[in-house]
């Protein structure tokens, strides 16, 4: 026993399992999800994932040990980011697989969405065409740093917290569609709820920037340059 072949295979599968172990904890997945939206400090990650800073630090060390995440000192802060675009793609494929294979995911999501009264969801398939044709206005309701790190071309940056006082800025005449970090992020749900309460028609897109890019569509970087010219289309690339 313990032939060279066996030892080789054991070594290889043990390496593969390093990635597996890294994504075996719910909180680490939540951290990865957040990091897919853009770099963040340890503190910000801890707060957004509702865990202690020490706990976040430990989880991030596991992710770094698996070479999924990189960290860089920036002054007093440590900025964490995904090690590679590929990590984000892998996370998305895990999410997709979970949705496909685990009935619980669909069930929990469905129950939550109906409870929130957020039934109407725009399919991205439909949206791609309508955004290109300039039929809808996309609202990116994530924090502005995340918008800067990457957003759907043509989208307006209106962070959820500022939405109420910036209602007047919103362009009229075209349908509003809000999106946020992804299908399991609640910001766009709350944005749509707020808009409706104010009498503004709006719908929610479940997919986020990450899904948009996974479709091979172009993603734009850079600051929120105020209102975008009306007719500017968001063309798919690649």
Partner DNA sequence: CAAGTATTCAAGCGTTCGATTGAATATGAG
Partner DNA sequence: CTCATATTCAATCGAACGCTTGAATACTTG
Question: Is 180 a known active-site residue?
Answer: yes
Our finding on whether 33 is near a second copy (CB under 8 A) is yes
Q: What is the distance between the alpha carbons of residues 137 and 171, in angstroms, rounded to a whole number?
A: 8
Smallest gap from Cβ 22 to a second copy, in A, equals: 8
Smallest gap from Cβ 81 to DNA, in A, equals: 12
Q: Considering beta carbons, is residue 27 or 130 the nearer one to DNA?
A: 27
Q: Which bin fits 216, alpha (ψ -120 to 50), beta or left (φ > 0)?
A: left
DSSP for 131-188, written as a single string: HHTT-EEEEE-S-HHHHHH-B-TT-EE--HHHHGGGGGGSPSSSEEEEE-S-TT--HH
Q: What is the distance between the alpha carbons of residues 105 and 113, in angstroms, rounded to a whole number?
A: 12
SS3 of residue 39 by DSSP: coil
Q: Considering beta carbons, is residue 57 or 109 the nearer one to DNA?
A: 57
Q: Which residues of 12-48 are buried (b: 16+ CB within 10 A; e: fewer)?
A: eeeeeeeeeebbeeebbbbbbbbbbbbbbbbebbbeb
By a kind-dependent CB cut-off of 5 to 8 A, residue 94 interacts, out of DNA, a second copy, none, with: a second copy
Residues 17-56, one symbol each (x = binds DNA by CB under 7 A, - = not), give: ----x--xxxxx------------xxx-------xxxxx-
Q: Considering beta carbons, is residue 24 or 108 the nearer one to DNA?
A: 24
Our finding on whether 237 is near a second copy (CB under 8 A) is no
Smallest gap from Cβ 218 to a second copy, in A, equals: 23
Q: Are 162 and 156 in contact (CB under 8 A)?
A: no
* Residue of the chain from 34, 35, 60, 63 that contacts DNA (CB under 7 A): 60
Size of the site for a second copy (CB under 8 A): 54
* Residue of the chain from 101, 165, 197, 229 that contacts a second copy (CB under 8 A): 101
Rounded to 10 deg, the angle between the 103-115 and 85-101 helix axes is: 90
Q: Are 72 and 79 in contact (CB under 8 A)?
A: yes
Q: Which residues bind a second copy (CB under 8 A)?
A: 1, 4-6, 8-21, 23-27, 29-30, 33, 50, 66-68, 83-84, 86-87, 89-90, 93-98, 100-105, 108-109, 112, 115, 184, 186
Active site amino acids: 180
């Amino acid at each position: 026993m313990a032939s060279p072949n066996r030892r080789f295979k054991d070594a290889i599968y043990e390496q593969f399992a390093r990635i597996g172990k890294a994504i075996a904890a719910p909180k680490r997945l939540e951290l990865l999800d957040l990091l897919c939206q853009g770099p963040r400090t340890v503190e910000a990650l801890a707060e957004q994932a509702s865990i202690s800073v020490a706990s976040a630090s430990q989880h991030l060390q596991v992710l770094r040990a698996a070479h999924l995440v990189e960290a860089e000192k920036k002054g007093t802060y440590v900025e964490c980011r995904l090690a590679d675009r590929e990590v984000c793609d892998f996370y998305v494929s895990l999410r997709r697989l979970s949705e496909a294979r685990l009935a619980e995911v669909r069930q929990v999501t469905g129950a939550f969405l109906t409870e929130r009264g957020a039934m109407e969801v725009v399919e991205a398939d439909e949206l791609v065409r309508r955004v290109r044709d300039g039929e809808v206005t996309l609202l990116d309701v994530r924090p502005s740093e995340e918008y800067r790190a990457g957003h759907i071309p043509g989208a307006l940056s209106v962070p959820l917290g500022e939405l109420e006082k910036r209602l007047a800025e919103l362009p009229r005449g075209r349908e509003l569609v809000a999106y946020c970090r992804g299908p399991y992020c609640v910001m766009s749900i709350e944005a749509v709820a707020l808009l409706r309460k104010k009498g503004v028609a709006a719908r929610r897109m479940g997919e986020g920037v990450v899904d948009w890019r996974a479709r091979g569509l172009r993603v734009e970087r850079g600051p929120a340059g105020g209102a975008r010219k009306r007719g500017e289309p968001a063309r798919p690339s690649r």
